[in-house]
Amino acid sequence: MTQQVFTGDREYFPGIGKIPYEGRESDNPLAFKFYEPNRLVGDKTMEQHLRFAACYWHTFCGKGGDPFGEDSRILPWDEPGEAMAAARARMDAAFEFFTKLGVPYYCFHDRDMAPEGTSVSDSERKLVTMVELASERQKETGMKLLWGTANLFGHPRYINGAATNPDFAAVTHAAAQVKAALDATVALGGENYVFWGGREGYASLLNTDTRRELDHLAHFLELSRDYGRSIGFTGTYLIEPKPMEPSKHQYDFDAQTVIGFLRHYGLDGDFKLNIEANHATLAGHSFSHELQMCTDAGLLGSIDANRGDPQNGWDTDQFPTDLYDAIQAWLVVLADGGLSSGGFNFDAKVRRESVDLEDIFLGHIGGMDTFARGLEVAWRIRERSGLHRAKQQRYASFDTGEGARFEQAKLDLVALRDLAERHGEPAHTSGKQEWFENLINQYL
Ligand code: XLS
Ligand code: NI
Ligand code: NI
């Protein structure tokens, strides 16, 4: 008996069934080589560790256009005609894809799911209609919502920002959108709600009052949090840092900037961070650095899994295939006890040149295999290698004696000075970076 894998009237990916796990010896490009949902890694299955999500925007709305060229991909669910009919077709295609791929979660922006209306209330109605359909589809397929968000960057009313717009009228529209997107997220049982501030930044300091804009942003987030809680949202609010693009300078530049902002405005009890790999590299950091800054602060929420291109200075949003990067990310996440209510969302798109519909399956399969394999390798490194102990050993001088008293804040600067004189020059100790790096390769 074949499993029913689409819920609408039409099958959008004929010839592609449920993606099976076939192991690394398989030559079938439409099969997982490493992601085996029920395989135990430690005390949890791969599915429970990874909590994969597919995104609505790149995969079902993106058609391969770039600033120099027209759309390159024909999406069979994107037939010309009435916008709500197109939205329904897109949703059918999306749920067929999610089910065939076997991801348990998805993520969406309000405008991915339903078109903008002619007024605030018309936009709200359209979104509610689509959310009702999504809710049915979730019941039929078992799909769950990892997070919802509002697109506060696409419409021209946000050219000068959304919550940080110098015009109060634009701020009220941003609020209307966030309110409706929170309603939608709650109706769909979303586990998180994301704020990505694409236009929350500036192009020129000469015309910008940054202090006022930051105060407005914090207040906007407070109001959004309070509204969400008032309608029963118990999940986590997430801020997604990105240094630039589309703004020249974005306020949520990187993890440490956002952590400082959340603490300054007292928002760190409700908000955590959604770390995107390509945004990390745009900020001049590594993916694992950004994750580490979050876990140090106890504020890692979720992950947008993708990668950039070292030769391109923008958000290319490619599917992640770099195993070394995935292992290092997992080492940080596992040390933090795993992702609790977060997941790995593929905020990634196939290339403009990848015009076959099956390419979107191939991209996701590759990304899922990369993080599944990364998980297994990182788990082995933690269980069997001396990495953790060797790292701790570098700090052994703080474990006992005067070093421990320093950590307990029992020594003043003069006492430190006297110890320096008594001890003489510190030993010349190797950082052993090569040893650490070789160890990762050994467990690959
Ligand atoms: C854009 C961001 C965006 C967020 C959701 O660069 O990654 O897609 O994830 O608004
Ligand atoms: Ni991005
Ligand atoms: Ni993202």
pLDDT tens string, the chain, 444 residues long: the values are: 345 567 778 999 999 999 999 999 999 999 999 999 999 999 999 999 999 999 999 999 999 999 999 999 999 999 888 999 999 999 999 999 999 999 999 999 999 999 999 999 999 999 999 999 999 999 999 999 999 999 999 999 999 999 999 999 999 999 999 999 999 999 999 999 999 999 999 999 999 999 999 999 999 999 999 999 999 999 999 999 999 999 999 999 999 999 999 999 999 999 999 999 999 999 999 999 999 999 999 999 999 999 999 998 889 999 999 999 999 999 999 999 999 999 999 999 999 999 999 999 999 999 999 999 999 999 999 999 999 999 999 999 999 999 999 999 999 999 999 999 999 999 999 999 999 999 999 999
> In ligand 1, which atom is closest to the CA atom of 242?
6
- pLDDT at residue 8, as a whole number: 75
In this structure, the dihedral spanned by the alpha carbons of residues 182, 187, 190 and 192, taken in order and rounded to 10 degrees, is 20
Class of domain 40-387: alpha beta
For residue 266, report the distance from its CA to the centre of ligand 1, in Å: 24
Pairing of strands 271-276, 236-240: parallel
Q: Which residue is listed with tokens 């609408």?
A: 8
Which residue's C-alpha comes closest to atom 8 of ligand 1? 347
Which residues, 6+ apart, have CB-to-CB distance to 205 below 8 Å? none
For residue 276, report the distance from its CA to the centre of ligand 3, in Å: 6
Q: Report the C-alpha gap between 250 and 203 in whole angstroms.
A: 9
- pLDDT at residue 5, as a whole number: 64
Pairing of strands 300-304, 344-346: parallel
- Contact residues of ligand 1, CB 6 A cut-off: 109, 149, 194, 196, 240, 242, 276, 304, 315, 347
| 361 close to 311: Cβ distance less than 8 angstroms | no
For residue 245, report the distance from its CA to the centre of ligand 2, in Å: 9
- Would you please indicate which residues are annotated as catalytic (active-site) residues? 109, 112
Looking at the CA of 278, name the nearest ligand.
2
Measured in whole angstroms, the distance separating CA 435 from the mean position of its chain's CA atoms is 31
- pLDDT at residue 44, as a whole number: 98
> In ligand 1, which atom is closest to the CA atom of 345?
9
- For residue 401, count CB atoms less than 10 angstroms from its CB and return exposed for 0-12, middle for 13-18, buried for 19 or more: exposed
Cis check for the bond before 310: say yes or no (omega within 30 of 0).
Answer: no
* SS3 of residue 345 by DSSP: strand
- pLDDT at residue 2, as a whole number: 43
Q: Report which DSSP code applies to 108.
A: E
If you count DSSP H runs as helices and E runs as strands, how many of each does the chain have, helices first? 16, 12
The amino acid present at 6, given as its one-letter code, is F
For residue 280, report the distance from its CA to the centre of ligand 3, in Å: 11
Q: Where are the domains of the chain?
A: 40-387
What's the pTM? Answer: 0.97
Q: Report the C-alpha gap between 162 and 201 in whole angstroms.
A: 10
Mutate-to-test residue for ligand 1 from 58, 106, 113, 242, highest number of ligand atoms within 8 A of CB: 242
For 359-390, give one letter per residue: b (16+ CB within 10 A) or e: ebbebbbbbbbbbbbbbbbbbebbeeeebeee
Mutate-to-test residue for ligand 1 from 239, 240, 253, highest number of ligand atoms within 8 A of CB: 240
Q: What is the token pair recorded at 388?
A: 């953790």
The amino acid present at 244, given as its one-letter code, is M
